[in-house]
Amino acid sequence: MRAADSRAHWAYRAGRTARWCWNRRGIWLRGALFALILLNLAPARQRILPEPPQTVQSAHPILCMHTRLVDEVEDIKIWRTLRMVREMGAPAIVEFFPWAYIQPREGVYDWHHPDRIIRLAQRQGLTVIARLGVVPAWARPDPLRQPTSLNYLPPERYADYAAFVAAFAARYRGVVRHIIPWNEPNLYFEWGFRRVPPEEYAQFLKLVYEAAHAANPDVQILGGALAPTLEPEDGANGMSDLIYLRRLYAAGGGEYFDALAVHTYGFTAPPDDPPAPDRLNFRRYELLLAIMRAFGDGEKPVYITETSWNDHPRWVNAVRPAQRIAYTLQALRYAESAWQNVRQVCFWFFRAPTLYRNYMDGYAFVSVAFRPRPIYEEVQRWARGWEASP
Amino acid sequence: MRRYPTRNAAFFHALRRLIASLCLAFLFVQGVRYGRYHFRPDLSWERAQARGVLIVGMDTSYAPFAVMRGEDIRGLDVDIALEVARRLGLRLQVAPMGVDGLYDALHVGIVDALISALPFDPFRAHLFVYTRPYLDGGYFLVSRAGRYQTMPDLDGKTLAVEHGSIGDEQARLWRRRLRALTIQHHAEPSAALAAAAAGEADAALVDYLTARAWLRAQGESELRIAAAPIYSEAYHAVLRARDLALASRVNAALEAMWADGSLAAILARWLG
């Protein structure tokens, strides 16, 4: 009796639900049509054919490329870029991971984009040097009270940033070993349009270093990443990298980085141009090394995370394309033979997602359409050890 | 008699009418704004005439197009702008600036036009119009008596290029398409031309300006530039897309200069 009642009850409920759905058939049909249109508007997903894990074939593992994958939307472009880096013979890349993208709200992480870049790089056998930066809106002052730039990190938020670096280091433990916590802190623009005291950066570095190492003892914090500049100590746009590094060591900052990240651009000078405090050239790194030695830190590893020559025809700091190739190869040979501390020489930049339409396009090794420029092929010949072949 | 069976029905009817009215009002306002922007009278030519001056933006650090020496600005682009302004019955005023600032200056109305060796940029075509080209500065084959005009003619031959240049890039592409093509790399495009002249290479693939300048410097040479580029980079005058009246007059002036040979004379004066 009770079972029959129950069946009748469920039949009654099912009937009512069916009637309720039928009475709203118009809205369901319109909804389905709308969803169908939306699905058809979405671009088809690109498929990456499965391939076995790759390894980089390189006769000169010092070579490294600075990629620009953070603004890429499609997986296939990320994959193709990384594949070309591998085929070039570069075992490492520097890639930028903006804090603002990964932690859009306090306590909320979205690892989707860094995950896919790092996963695809791993599949190509590439080592990733992660450059972090860009402050999310929630970590900056209210723009109605104090307008600030994307690089403005108030000291009271250093701990939040350190927590982010620690989260990054923990998530990619065993995969990403090198982290550059901030880019070019000696530039007014990069330090959020504030004065650039190295002592403040030393405090920042201490927090980041301790948090990252607590989360992942294997991680290497790459300090510095200073912009090569001739600005004086109280310059309007920043501070000389030489003065900045000296003051950073004097403030005790040397204890809080495992390796030094160096930016050294050749501009119009050849790579053998001798270093001098009043010149910006490739060998300016040797002046930084002298400061490291003066503070007893001369054995620390060094990563040149940005260097290059530019061959844009309308930029005063550019060289001829033939010079760019010759200088790039000379620089690599020189760094490999003469600079014992240097682990990688990373060239700015491999490929951009779109044209800059200015001198920046003269740095690319590969066109937006993935066409290798002659410099790609020449550096590949060197890196893969093909120079002797025709 | 009640028009609606329930109060709810009356409320939703009123709501639907309100939403429809708001949508219509929004569409009307947008339509008016669109119309005011796109269908406003084009007074660009009248403005230039009233002023009596054509203001042209130029990058004055790019020889031989425009170079500033003291307060004097000279170059191929300056002469072309002078001739265009003369044909329009206007005086020329050159606004010197860096190459990065050219398009911004035109967009905000600081200058009327740009004549500064600018190639066509499809990503800017919604804001700017490009006149007929006045020069193709791209990469051309240069060979004895102009024997080689296209890349397929070079099958089995030796081509001299500047190492790493666009010419080199093109040569590497064609090497994959032809049965055989030997690429000879040189540090300078002039060295590639010298190799072609000396018979060490069958042809050189270099940019048009270098080829013209080198041939002028040599005086007598057997080398001739091919009629069509292998890699084209044509230079245009650029104006705002909404200034069609002025743009069409500048374009007509350039067409006339092309037809009567005055453009060729200016090019010959600067390039040889």
Q: pLDDT tens, A170-180?
A: 999 999 999 99
Distance (Å) from the C-alpha of residue A62 to the closest C-alpha of chain B?
Answer: 23
B163: chain A residues, CB-CB within 8 Å? 321-322, 325-326, 374
- Residues of chain B in contact with residue A375, where contact means CB-CB under 8 angstroms, are 164
- The pLDDT value recorded for residue A246 is 97
Q: What is the mean pLDDT of chain B?
A: 93
pLDDT at A32 over 70: yes
pLDDT at position A388, please? 63
Selected residues 57-116 of chain A with any CB under 8 Å from a CB in chain B: none
**A22 and A115 share a domain?**
no
Sign of the dihedral defined by the CA atoms of residues A92, A96, A101, A107, in that order: positive
User: Per the structure block, which two tokens stand in for B136?
Assistant: 């193709």
Tell me: do A171 and A236 sit in the same domain: yes
**DSSP strand pairing (A63-66 vs A342-348):** parallel
In the numeric block, which tokens belong to residue B56? 């042209």
Report yes or no: A21 and A28 within 8 Å, Cβ to Cβ: yes
Residue type, A144: L
> What total of structural domains would you count in chain A?
2
Q: Hey, of B169, B181, B184, B233, which one would you mutate to test binding to chain A, going by the most A CBs within 10 A of its CB? A: B169
- Per-residue pLDDT tens digits for A143-192: 999 999 999 999 999 999 999 999 999 999 999 999 999 999 999 999 99
* Tens of pLDDT, residues A348-385: 999 999 998 889 999 999 999 999 999 999 999 999 99
Burial class (CB in 10 A: 0-12, 13-18, 19+), A285: buried
pLDDT of B180 = 94
Q: Which helix (H) or strand (E) holds B58?
A: strand B53-59
Is A389 among the domain residues?
Answer: no
CA distance A29 to A37: 12
Tens of pLDDT, residues A200-249 = 999 999 999 999 999 999 999 999 999 999 999 989 899 999 999 999 99
Is A321 within 8 Å of B163 when comparing Cβ atoms?
A: yes
Could you tell me if A232 and A298 lie in one domain?
yes
Instruction: Quote the CA–CA distance of A284 and A266 in Å, as a whole number.
Output: 9
At residue B220, the pLDDT reads 83
Q: Is residue A51 part of a domain?
A: no
Quote the minimal CA–CA distance from B59 to chain A in Å: 10
Q: Do B164 and A322 touch (CB under 8 A)?
A: yes
**Domain match, A22 and A126 both:** no
Which among A314, A324, A358 has CB closest to B164? A324
Kindly state whether A45 is in contact with chain B, defined as any CB-CB distance less than 8 angstroms.
Answer: no
Residue B98 has pLDDT above 60, yes or no: yes
Nearest CB to A375; choose among B162, B164, B187: B164
pLDDT at A283: 97
- Residue type for position A227: A
Instruction: Specify whether A181 is located in the same domain as A283.
Output: yes
Looking at beta carbons, which residues of chain A come within 8 Å of B100? 358-359
- What single letter denotes the amino acid at residue A367? S
A207 and A253, same domain (yes or no): yes
Residues of chain A with pLDDT > 70, as a percent, come to 98
Hey, what are A273's tokens? Answer: 């141009």
In a domain, A53, yes or no: no
- Supply the pLDDT for residue A86: 98
Query: In the predicted model, what is the mean pLDDT of residues B154-183?
Result: 95
State the best of B123, B139, B165, B188 to mutate against chain A, taking most chain A CBs within 10 Å: B165
Q: State which residues form the domain around A235.
A: 63-383
Q: Are residues A16 and A157 in the same domain?
A: no
- Do the Cβ atoms of B169 and A371 come within 8 Å? yes
The answer to whether B168 contacts chain A (CB < 8 Å) is yes
Tell whether A36 and A96 lie within a shared domain.
no
Q: How confident is the model at residue B2 (pLDDT cuts 50, 70, 90)?
A: low
pLDDT digits (tens, 9 = 90+) for A323-347: 999 999 999 999 999 999 999 999 9
Q: pLDDT tens for residues B18-58?
A: 999 999 999 999 999 888 777 778 899 999 999 999 999 99
* A-proximal residues of B, 219-248, CB under 8 Å: none
Q: Looking at the structure, do residues A34 and A161 belong to the same domain, yes or no?
A: no
In a domain, A58, yes or no: no
Residues A25 and A114 in one domain: no
In a domain, A191, yes or no: yes
Q: Is residue A202 domain-resident?
A: yes
Confidence of residue A288 (pLDDT cuts 50, 70, 90): very high
Q: Please state the rounded mean pLDDT for residues A247-263.
A: 97
Output the pLDDT for position B69. 87
pLDDT score for B1: 52
Residue A328 included in any domain:
yes
Q: Which residue ranges form the domains of chain B, and what is each CATH number?
A: 44-136+234-271 (3.40.190.10), 139-225 (3.40.190.10)
CB < 8 Å to A378, chain B: 164
Do residues A25 and A107 both lie within one domain? no
- Note the ipTM here: 0.81
CA contacts within 13 A on the Cβ side of B254: 21
| CATH number of A90's domain | 3.20.20.80
Same domain (yes/no): A33, A69: no
Q: Is residue A289 part of a domain?
A: yes
Lowest-confidence region among A267-281, A300-314, B39-53:
B39-53
Contacts of A377 in chain B (CB under 8 A): 172
Q: Which of residues 175-194 of B touch A (CB under 8 A)?
A: 185-188
C-alpha–C-alpha distance, residues B181 and B197, integer Å: 18
Query: pLDDT per residue over B203-256, tens digit each?
Result: 999 999 999 999 999 988 899 999 999 999 999 999 999 899 999 999 999 999
Backbone φ and ψ for A221, nearest 5 degrees, come out as: -90, 120
Q: Which A positions 300-329 lie with beta carbon below 8 A of chain B?
A: 311, 314, 316, 320-326
Of A159, A204, A198, the residue nearest A181 (C-alpha):
A204
pLDDT at A390: 45
